Amino acid sequence: MFDTPRKEVELHLHFDGGWRPETIFRFAQKKGISFPCSNGEGFAKHLRVTEPNSLCSFLTKFNDILQPIRGDKEALHQITVDFVEDCVKRGGHCYVEPRFCPFFFAGDNLTVEEATETVLKSMETAAHQHNLQWRAILCMMRQNPEWSEKVVDLALANRKNGVVAVDVAGDDKPCDGKNTDKRIKDAFQRAYEAGLHCIAHAGENGCAASVTEAVHEMHAERIGHGYHILDDNNVYKDMKERGVHFEVSLLPLTLSAKLYALCSF
C-alpha cells in the first residue's frame, strides 16, 4: 500500500499538540502576540515540559499554542499541512487518527464549521501528497459541555470527509463516575446511535469509576489514558474482560508524573 518503509500507527494524537513551534511563532509575530522568546527555537523551549508535573500544568501550554492560530484560516491551513508532513517525515507514520475540538480553532473571522472544514480539507490534500492514511476524531470538552451537541453535529456532517469518531477530553479529575454532564452523555448517545465510534479520556486524572462511566454510559470503545483503573481491581477486571482498548502514551504519562501506572499495566 505504501511506497516507503513507514510503519508507525498513532491512534492517540492530539492535532493541536503536534504543531511546529516555528510556524506558531511566525503567526504570533504577525499578529503582535508576544511571548518570552525571540524566535521559533525559543518558543519551542518555552512550550517544552521537562520535569514531571500535574496534568493541569501540562495542559496550560495549549493556551499559548492556540492563541496565534485561533480564527485564522490561513494559519490553520499551514499548521495542518506542516502537521501531515511531520507525521510522515519525522514520525514515520503510515496511519494516524488526529483528534481536535473545532471550537478551539474558531474565532471572529472563522466559524466552527469553517474551522472544521479547513482542517479536514487541508488534511486530505496534504495526506494525499504524502501518501498518509488518516481518519479524524472530533472532541467534546469536559469544561465546555455546551459544545457537545454541536461537536456531534459536525462529526455527523463530516463523515464523508474523514471523521469517524467523537471523544471527550479535558481534565477528568472532578469526575466521580456519575457526574459527567448530561449534555456530554446525551451527545455520546446520539453519536453511538448514528454509528459513530466513541472514545473517551477517563481515569487519567480522575477516579477509576470515571472509566466505568465512559464505557457503560457513553459507549466508549477506547479509553484515553485510564491509568486510575489500577486503583480499583473490579474496574480493571471489567475492562480486561470487555477488551477495552487503553491508549497509553509514554511521554505525557512521564511528564504528568504517572509513570508508575505504565509499569503496572
DSSP string covering 136-205? EEEEEETTBGGGHHHHHHHHHHTGGGTEEEEEEES--TT--SS-S-HHHHHHHHHHHHTT-EEEEEESSS
C-alpha cell at 102: 473545532
Length of the chain measured in residues:
265
What's the number of CA atoms in the CB half-sphere (13 Å) around residue 37? 17
Active-site residue (options: 113, 149, 193, 204): 204
Strand 133-134 to strand 163-169: parallel, antiparallel, or no bridges (unpaired)? unpaired
Contact at 8 Å (CB) between 20 and 2?
A: no
Catalytic-residue membership of 97: no
- Asked if 192 and 149 touch (Cβ cutoff 8 Å), the reply is no
How far apart, in whole angstroms, are the C-alpha atoms of residue 226 and residue 191?
22
Residues with a catalytic annotation lie at 204
